[in-house]
Structure 1
Amino acid sequence: MTLTVYNTLTRKKEPFITIETGKVRMYCCGITVYDYCHLGHARTCIVWDVVRRYLQWRGYEVKYIQNFTDIDDKILNRARKEETTMEAISERFIEAYFEDMERLKVKRADAYPRATHSLDGIKRLVAELEEKGYAYGSDGDVYYSVRRFKDYGKLSGRKLEDLQAGASGRVDLADTEPIKKKDPFDFAVWKGAKPGEPAWESPWGKGRPGWHIECSAMVRERLGETIDLHVGGSDLIFPHHENEIAQSEAATGQPLARYWLHNGMVKVGGEKMSKSLGNFTTIRDLLAKIDPMAVRLFILQAHYRKPVDFTDEALEAATNGWHTIKEGLLFGYEYGAKLGFTVCSSSETLTQRFQEAVDDDFNFAEGLAVLFEIAKELRKEGNILVHQGQTETAPKILEEQWVTLVDLCQVLGLKTDSNEVKEEVSNGLSDEDIEGLIEQRKMARKNKNYAEGDRLRDELKEQGIILVDQPGGVTTWHRG
């Protein structure tokens, strides 16, 4: 089977062929650390976390780098507002980021370079661009000359004549002083010092880096001139990633990345979730209400390139989905010994179906269908075992299914530890509690107290327990 990916640069699906056989160099544009992360950030982090996990599962050695932008107007504004330092704001929200990601089971990157820790590489790159005629100094600032780069717009498909002059993607005082630029489309790669702001020595005087140059320098410093995968949110295609390409490729003469992949946005009422619109929900506020694994399922339920709508109904569906998967996992932990489970391999057929789905441009939404199919089958067999003392399906097949479920959950970054799964399932009604309420309902119906029987059925339903009345007066049940 061949892994194919949709390359934003070429606007088509392509076979995934790495520069170095068996190795992937992958860079993700990270956050600007001035506030708590919201669900939109969670989507980016979870999507590329699962892509990384999947590539490793497929046998690739992945080097994954994600940056922090720790010098920016938004950080400085917050520091002024709180009467503290830029460093204090950055450290606080970097720590908060790691706390959120740990709860979401997002694996740590191999490195998290920061703009303020990468200044030597940034200044070297600015100097190279100036030397080659792609950048010019102007009263302490240094600007990139967009028209000098003939391929500008190749990632986004935009043409200069169609663009709004000064569209930089950041609040930039220089944009209000176009006289300092030779062309209104040019953007700052180095900003001259301003009163009361942090600044560093440079050949152009004291100042700080522009936004776009940071990633170009960090990619080159950590991964080399050309990498395999450059990823991020679709809102970064223009101008950020377009400008990265212009800077890096002008300096090196080599492609910055072989493949450019972008995840869609989380939307609220049809609009992108963002701090600027005020329609965001922070990760920590969301995790106070629902399980982190339900958040992962919410993110993975849609193809990564498509937008996903943030609604109560979608979150409830994800919560129910996680409960179904937990019950499938619980099957092996609860009944494995009784059924004689040993250490066996996973189901080749089910694993192949999952891989075929995900190999098509990381279609985890389609791959999830395999997990739900397995979990529902195991849940059904568990109910049969409880009520009839044996399963309908051979234990060997059930073991293969269960091992496959555990394996694929790990690929998707879902919890599989027996203690965690048992604890979460046990937070609801126990099997004994459920059987007791079913017996009460049976007696109520026998006494023709149908209202009480309906009340008990509804009470169980509110707890996520579904009753199925079988012929002969037998009632079976399942969770979710």
Structure 2
Amino acid sequence: MQLYNTLTRRKEEFKPLVPGEVHMYVCGPTVYNYIHIGNARSAIAFDTIRRYFEYRGYKVTYISNFTDVDDKIINAAHEAGVEPLDLAQHFIDAFMEDTKAVGIEPATAHPRASEMIPEIIDFIQVLMDKGFAYAVDGDVYFRVRKSPHYGELANKNIDELELGASQHTATEETARKEDPVDFALWKGAKPGEISWNSPWGEGRPGWHIECSVMATNMLGDTIDIHAGGQDLEFPHHTNEIAQSEAKTGKKFANYWMHNGFVTIGDDDAKMSKSLGNFITVHDIVKTVDPMVLRFLMAGTQYRRPIRYSETGLQEAATNLEKLHNADTNVEFRQADASAGEDEQITQQVADLTDAFTTAMDDDFNVQNGLATVYDLAKLMNEYAATDAPKADSLALLRETLATWLQIFGVHFEAAGLLDADVDAKIAARDEARANKDFATSDAIRDELQSQGIILEDTPQGTRWRRK
């Protein structure tokens, strides 16, 4: 299996630290609002990757954090007149609800910054003792120039970073730093802010330190994969590497994976509140089928940008419906199939499985993987139309499709009438047609059609599908 490593900027063979296991850390959201479509893209991309690892037989330990202590949370809580941790909890609950809707499995653990304050303080103290950090008036900063490979992940030169920092308007914080590029590990509390006691006074952790502490605390000093959005390469992940390796003296992560951005509309606009195109998953799933949203997001290779638009949603809905119809076609023929196996179908499915695995093993190339899924759907339609399909082969086709779609987080759900209800109405319609009661027969057809059920009369009997 080949993974693109952001740190080395090339594909590398995946070699886990423990054979058969994957230890993976994915940066989660700062919970001061509902997650937007960009957050969802990252969560869906790495959930799909996690699922594929599991398909390939790996045991995956998947950690994704919640940043529940942050300036944005403090400011939003102040505006809402609530406590910061209460606000954070509200949006954590919303995150779990919204991600469940789009088929994202809960992480093995969802640690929170507020729950690991003692560990964060201990981590910072080690950096202080080793000379990598210094305290000034209740704040603690990391000495960036003591990190020999600082900036490599984002391909940034430390001298360029210093020039950029020096061009900013001087602030009280900048004046306290030994070097403009140094970053905060601990922030002294302002009056009225949420805070914890520490050796440096009342305060709270900086943004970057929490992920280093959570990742190493839960997965070990060196982990297999650290992942997140491209916007986290610098400064967040760059700072994580610096402080983690300074503390442990070990390589922090063997593979760094970053997902591409999301643009909005057919003109590929950047999402922003000022442009009025800021879209949250909480709002999307009120009008868009969550499975369609999931299929749109999971159907693009994780490093590529995604265009979120009505056109893209419609295309995803159409393709998903084609796959659903293929499954329905095969399901319909299971009722009259003869026993046994069609060896030709078994071989064709094996060949398609090899093609699917080859595509997905190449840095999770889901576009090529989906091309194989569509080839499977074509085979399903063709086999379902044969005169004498075999039961075992029909079952194999359906099982293979379901397994592959599960990797993409997609499943077919009954909507409206239950399948048994539809079958009962079709039986009543068949009886009406046999009695030449065409008025009743037509009324049943119209009723089903109004609820999205399409009937097709075939030589093998009446079959149906959802619109």
TM-score bracket for the superposition, by shorter chain length? 0.7 to 0.9
Q: Aligned partners of 2:285, 2:198: CA distance in 1, in Å?
A: 44
Aligned mate of 1:226, from 184, 208, 222: 222
What residue number does 2:250 align with?
254
CA drift of 1:404 comes to: 1.2
What RMSD, in angstroms, separates the aligned Cα atoms of the two structures? Answer: 3.3
Letter matched to residue 153 of structure 1:
G
The secondary structure found in structure 1 opposite 2:217 is: helix
Query: Would the aligned equivalents of 1:324 and 1:376 in 2 still touch at CA under 8 Å?
Result: no
Q: Aligned partners of 1:224, 1:395: CA distance in 2, in Å?
A: 49
1:177 matched to 2:173? The reply is yes
Q: Which runs of 5+ in 1 are unaligned?
A: 436-459, 468-475
The secondary structure found in structure 2 opposite 1:196 is: coil
Q: Percent identity?
A: 42
CA drift of 1:329 comes to: 2.4
1:415 matched to 2:417? The reply is no
Alignment of 1:309-348 (within 5 A): 309-340=307-338, 347-348=349-350
Alignment of 1:11-50 (within 5 A): 11-50=9-48
Letter matched to residue 373 of structure 1:
D
Q: Aligned partners of 1:21, 1:91: CA distance in 2, in Å?
A: 37
CA drift of 1:343 comes to: 10
The secondary structure found in structure 2 opposite 1:288 is: helix
User: Alpha carbons of 1:151 and 1:278: their partners in 2 closer, same or farther (altered >3 Å)?
Assistant: farther
What residue number does 2:401 align with?
405
TM-score by length of 2: 0.84
Q: Deviations over 1:3-42 (max 9, x none)?
A: 0000001100000000111111100000000001111111
CA drift of 1:410 comes to: 1.8
Query: Would the aligned equivalents of 1:300 and 1:365 in 2 still touch at CA under 8 Å?
Result: no
Query: Would the aligned equivalents of 1:409 and 1:416 in 2 still touch at CA under 8 Å?
Result: no
Query: Would the aligned equivalents of 1:329 and 1:421 in 2 still touch at CA under 8 Å?
Result: no
User: Alpha carbons of 1:47 and 1:130: their partners in 2 closer, same or farther (altered >3 Å)?
Assistant: same
What residue number does 1:352 align with?
354
Aligned mate of 1:267, from 246, 263, 267: 263
- Which range is displaced more, 304-313 or 283-292? 283-292
1:301 matched to 2:299? The reply is yes
User: Alpha carbons of 1:250 and 1:288: their partners in 2 closer, same or farther (altered >3 Å)?
Assistant: same
1:207 matched to 2:203? The reply is yes
Q: Aligned partners of 1:206, 1:152: CA distance in 2, in Å?
A: 29
Q: Aligned partners of 1:27, 1:13: CA distance in 2, in Å?
A: 19
What residue number does 2:438 align with?
none
Q: Aligned partners of 1:23, 1:202: CA distance in 2, in Å?
A: 37
1:101 matched to 2:103? The reply is no
User: Alpha carbons of 1:366 and 1:180: their partners in 2 closer, same or farther (altered >3 Å)?
Assistant: same
The secondary structure found in structure 2 opposite 1:189 is: strand
Q: Aligned partners of 1:420, 1:192: CA distance in 2, in Å?
A: 53
The secondary structure found in structure 2 opposite 1:374 is: helix
User: Alpha carbons of 1:274 and 1:375: their partners in 2 closer, same or farther (altered >3 Å)?
Assistant: farther
Letter matched to residue 123 of structure 1:
I
Alignment of 1:353-432 (within 5 A): 353-379=355-381, 381-382=383-384, 384=385, 390=387, 396-416=392-412
Q: Aligned partners of 1:202, 1:277: CA distance in 2, in Å?
A: 42
User: Alpha carbons of 1:64 and 1:376: their partners in 2 closer, same or farther (altered >3 Å)?
Assistant: same
1:65 matched to 2:67? The reply is no
User: Alpha carbons of 1:121 and 1:175: their partners in 2 closer, same or farther (altered >3 Å)?
Assistant: farther
Query: Would the aligned equivalents of 2:224 and 2:255 in 1 still touch at CA under 8 Å?
Result: yes
User: Alpha carbons of 1:286 and 1:179: their partners in 2 closer, same or farther (altered >3 Å)?
Assistant: same
The secondary structure found in structure 2 opposite 1:14 is: strand
Q: Which runs of 5+ in 2 are unaligned?
A: 431-448, 457-462
CA drift of 1:400 comes to: 2.8
CA drift of 1:335 comes to: 2.5
Q: Aligned partners of 1:102, 1:477: CA distance in 2, in Å?
A: 29
Q: Deviations over 1:368-396 (max 9, x none)?
A: 112222224434555x47xxxx36x6665
TM-score by length of 1: 0.82
Q: Aligned partners of 1:142, 1:148: CA distance in 2, in Å?
A: 15
Q: Aligned partners of 1:424, 1:102: CA distance in 2, in Å?
A: 24
The secondary structure found in structure 1 opposite 2:225 is: strand
CA drift of 1:280 comes to: 2.0
- Which range is displaced more, 145-154 or 267-276? 267-276
Q: Deviations over 1:45-66 (max 9, x none)?
A: 1111111111111111110100
Letter matched to residue 374 of structure 1:
L
Q: Aligned partners of 2:341, 2:54: CA distance in 1, in Å?
A: 22
CA drift of 1:398 comes to: 4.0
Alignment of 1:125-144 (within 5 A): 125-144=123-142
Letter matched to residue 233 of structure 2:
I
Q: Aligned partners of 1:351, 1:297: CA distance in 2, in Å?
A: 20
User: Alpha carbons of 1:59 and 1:381: their partners in 2 closer, same or farther (altered >3 Å)?
Assistant: closer
